[in-house]
Amino acid sequence: MALLQTHTFSHPIPSLPPIFSSSKTHLQNSLFFSSTKIRPFSLSTQPRKLLCKPPLGKHVREDYLVKKMSAQEVEELVRGERSVPIIIDFYATWCGPCILMAQELEMLAVEYEKNAIIVKVDTDDEYEFAHNMQVRGLPTLFFISPDPKKEAIRTEGLIPIQMMRDILDNEM
């Protein structure tokens, strides 16, 4: 039979704090729970001013300035007489960057309301037209000058709104 022996230490062992604190302390901690709404941190004391209300993740709505067009309507618009440049946006509803581009194009349409025509073409609906225009990546933009002697400018992928402004102001 084995005998159990107990040892006594001459110095006491300090008590350790509990690893998990009670839910009561979490409820009192404002980092975890708050009974009041906290406003987002901002260095500005004035409310943010927007040029226009950005679209809420939609590509086309009735009240948008940028309108969806069919391939035939776009061809008629390009061949017709006009005094302002045209921006054609080739997009797809499942494309994430296309949603971001739609927001930027809508803001651009507000700025250039009388100085540019901005239209959208859904590549899923107008597959042949997108194929004929050699659209390989989305979103793809075509900037078409009112001057028939100038070449169209083509961009692929998400581009900043300032780059679109520069193309419209300097290249068209």
Specify the 3-state DSSP secondary structure of 36. coil
Q: What is the identity of the amino acid at 48?
A: R
What whole-number distance in Å separates Cα of residue 134 and Cα of residue 121? 13
Catalytic residue of the set 98, 99, 119, 168: 98
Catalytic residue of the set 95, 107, 109, 121: 95
Is 95 among the catalytic positions?
yes
Q: Side by side, which strands form the sheet with 140-144? A: 67-68, 117-122, 86-91, 140-144, 153-156
What whole-number distance in Å separates Cα of residue 150 and Cα of residue 21? 71
Is 52 among the catalytic positions?
no
What whole-number distance in Å separates Cα of residue 21 and Cα of residue 16? 12
Q: So which residues are the catalytic ones?
A: 95, 98
